[in-house]
Amino acid sequence: MTEFRFAVNVLPRAGILDPQGRAVEAALPHLQIRAIRDVRVGRRVELTAVADSTAEARALVERLAGELLSNPLIESFTVEELGATSSLASAAGADGPGPAGAPGAGAAPGAGAAPGTAGR
Amino acid sequence: MKVGVVVFPGSNCDLDTLRAFRLAGAEAEPLWHESPDLGGAAAVVLPGGFAYGDYLRAGVIARFSPVMRAVADFAAGGGLVLGICNGFQVLAEARLLPGALLRNRSLRFVCRQVAIVPERLDTPFTRAIGERRPLRMPVAHGEGCYYADEATLDALEAAGQVLFRYARPDGSTPEDPLDPANPNGSLRAIAGVISAAGNVAGLMPHPERAAEPILGSDDGMLLVRSLVEAAAERAAAAGPARVGGR
């Protein structure tokens, strides 16, 4: 079993009223900022999933994201893989960057981001 | 005939709700959220408050409380379920009612008396109201802006699932979501909806806070009495043996 670190980014769906985004925009003139627009405020959840493979871990995270972390009626989400943090099996022996099996662990952060399955 | 009032950690209108239902002659009992069953209740009310601190999204953590499985089964079998304010948010998150409650357009917590009009007078939740007229009761919420996409809204209107709308004192309903009569910017001024089967309803205003004249209005008792009457009829029709069965 390996620990995989993920981030789930939740945003209001396009076209959904986002009063927090409007409130941020309303503050921009006070900072003399004119070149920023279309602010949308969402939520980022980081978590560790324990699984045998990246695919298994991702499936678990996507389920959580769709059922609890976001409301598909009003929000969409993306799952971002932050990489394998440790291998629990080898943790008993040597610590360190596990046999890093973790396929995909080497991918640049964000490379694993994929559109959520909120449309299910 | 027993009415169960669900108590989540963070519910804060449960005692008011119990009192209102007792005033209407019902035997009202609290139902702890970890209860696996409804204790024989003939109707269930999810009260206002801030279940689980409203963390993540209002109502979403409560939706996964053990009692909600029993509530969902009860609702699927035609049982009467009413959600008030936070209870409405829980029912929407649980998909027992259509739509979602977004943060108020003003971004402010709104706590004041409003007027609502019933769009249906023939439901277990509105039958005692008698005629379409404005009812006065308070709202107290930060996330009460009713949202559903246009197609869903049209379908709800066509199916008669819009149960209450915010209204002006004369009973007219504002079309502009920014109208002062609409406290939170709800689409089509929707204050409450009812399920397609007609046995689950939710509204943002608090009928239990308008339960006695000393509170400034007792219009809320019309809803409470409606539900008590309807539940009593169903309990009588089902016979004692079936009451409490799941």
Task: For Cα atoms B110, A67, A38, give the angle at the middle one, nearest 5 degrees.
Answer: 55
Q: pLDDT tens for residues A59-94? A: 999 999 999 999 999 999 999 999 777 776 554 444
Check if A73 contacts B (Cβ < 8 Å): yes
Q: What percent of chain B has pLDDT over 70?
A: 97
Residue B111 catalytic?
A: no
Q: What is the pLDDT of residues B157-191, one digit of tens each?
A: 999 999 999 999 999 999 999 999 999 999 999 99
Range with lowest mean pLDDT among A109-118, B152-161, B221-230: A109-118
pLDDT (tens digit per residue) in B40-93: 999 999 999 999 988 898 999 999 999 999 999 999 999 999 999 999 999 999
> Closest chain A residue to B149 measured between Cα atoms?
A73
- Under the banding of pLDDT at 50, 70 and 90, the label for residue A106 is very low
- Residue B85: active-site member: yes
Token pair for A52: 């045998």
d(CA B40, CA B124): 19
CA B20, CA B34: separation in Å to the nearest integer? 24
CA–CA gap between residue B4 and residue B32 (Å, rounded): 10
Q: What is the pLDDT of residue A36?
A: 96
Which value does ipTM take for this structure?
0.81
| pLDDT on residue A91 | 46
pLDDT of B27 > 70? The answer is yes
Domain map of chain B by residue range?
2-238
Q: Is B145 a catalytic residue?
A: no
d(CA B48, CA B10): 9
Average pLDDT over every residue of A95-110: 40
Report the greatest alpha carbon distance in chain B. Answer: 51
Q: Mean pLDDT across the stretch B133-150? A: 97
Q: Model-level pTM greater than 0.90?
A: no
Distance between CA atoms of residues A17 and A73, nearest Å: 12
Residue A101's nearest CA partner among A62, A55, A60, A64 is A55
- Architecture of domain B2-238 in this structure: 3-Layer(aba) Sandwich (3.40)
DSSP states along A102-119: -TTTTSPTTTT-EE--TT
Q: Model confidence at B229, in pLDDT bands (50, 70, 90)?
A: very high
Residue A89: the pLDDT is 56
Per-residue pLDDT at B240: 61
- Closest CB to A20 among B100, B103, B185: B103
**Average pLDDT of every residue of chain B:** 95
CA distances from B42 to A109, B76, B157, B160 (A): 53, 14, 28, 24
- The predicted structure's pLDDT at residue A98: 40
Residue B3 has pLDDT above 90, yes or no: yes
Interface test with B, best of A16, A40, A68 (most B CBs within 10 A): A68
The reply to whether residue A74 touches residue B100, judged by beta carbons under 8 angstroms, is: yes
| Whole-angstrom distance, CA of residue B34 vs CA of residue A21 | 37
> CB-based contact (8 Å) between A57 and chain B?
no
Is some CB atom of chain B closer than 8 A to the CB atom of A111?
A: no
